[in-house]
Amino acid sequence: MSRRGLWGLLGVALVGIPWWAGGVAYAQSGLPTISINPGQTASPSQTLSILALLTLMAFIPGLLLTMTAFTRVITVLSFTRSALGLQQTPPNQVLVGLALFLTFFIMQPTLTAINHQALHPYLTGHLTLVEAGRRALGPLRQFMYHETRPSDLALFLQLDHVHAPRTLAGVPTAALIPAFIISELKTAFEIGVYIFIPFVMIDLVVSTVLMSMGMMMVPPTLISLPLKLLLFVLANGWSLVVQSLVMSFH
């Protein structure tokens, strides 16, 4: 496409003004024109590959949320903030950023296997996009299978009317992904219960002391919040939470 055509498209798309006149002036001034793929047309296979790649990029956030350790990590971090009694501290952006980097740390062996088996061969031209996607799904399926409870997997296999397979190869991906998600949520809730217990005890003690002193008009959170923050800091709480999260994965 020439520079004149680009100017005309920009003018019509942005403000509806026929800037093609300016494009004509540029074309008549003797400046070189720019063309995209001169004399070449994209093959159907290349077009389909680009379309499939763009579609995959649109699904990457969903894959990150459902097929990695992100679900358990962000849920436990949210439980930690709620147990402390804090509404927006740390902010959501900080929690999501921490959850992302913890996910990359936990998923490092799986990501390395995907790179060796699928991404690198695809970039070097030894695999097609479909074959690379099939190979990349293998390490992810293995990770999800090891982190999924057998009872949760059996539930979705029963709902799908599939007999329980003996190996991972016989497990449908459509049943493995939701089973993995609810298994991750259950594990995250179990960790959240252990996080909540000491802070709930502090709230009960503070409430009982205030009622015994006749200070019923004083909000208990006004006294318990500094105590919970002090306990959390003295116990090096963030390190304990992160350590528990990493060690909870097999």
Is residue 25 located within the same domain as residue 136? no
Is residue 14 located within the same domain as residue 92? no
Q: How far apart are the C-alpha atoms of 37 and 161, rounded to whole Å?
A: 52
Burial status of residue 176 (CB atoms within 10 A of its CB: 0-12, 13-18, 19 or more): buried
Is residue 54 located within the same domain as residue 129? yes
Is residue 83 located within the same domain as residue 106? yes
Is residue 16 located within the same domain as residue 124? no
In a domain, 231, yes or no: no
Report the pLDDT averaged over residues 148-176.
83
pLDDT digits (tens, 9 = 90+) for 174-222: 888 899 999 999 999 999 999 989 888 888 888 888 788 777 777 777 7
Tokens of 230: 């002090």
Residue 166: pLDDT over 60: yes
- pTM for the complete prediction? 0.71
pLDDT digits (tens, 9 = 90+) for 41-70: 555 566 776 777 777 777 777 777 888 889
Integer-rounded Cα radius of gyration of the chain? 28
The confidence score (pLDDT) of residue 45 equals 63
pLDDT digits (tens, 9 = 90+) for 241-250: 899 888 888 6
In a domain, 165, yes or no: yes
Report the pLDDT averaged over residues 101-117.
89
Q: Name 168's Cβ contacts closer than 8 Å, sequence gap at least 6.
A: 141, 142, 145
In a domain, 247, yes or no: no
Last residue of a domain, one of 165, 193, 221: 193
32 Cα distance to chain centroid: 46
Nearest by Cα to 225 from 244, 207, 242, 243 = 207
How many beta carbons lie within 10 A of that of residue 12, not counting itself? 13
Q: How far apart are the C-alpha atoms of 245 and 77, rounded to whole Å?
A: 9
How many beta carbons lie within 10 A of that of residue 23, not counting itself? 20
- Total of domains in the chain: 2
Is residue 110 located within the same domain as residue 160? yes
The confidence score (pLDDT) of residue 73 equals 92
The confidence score (pLDDT) of residue 226 equals 85
Q: Which domain holds residue 9?
A: 1-41
Is residue 28 located within the same domain as residue 118? no
Is residue 119 located within the same domain as residue 173? yes
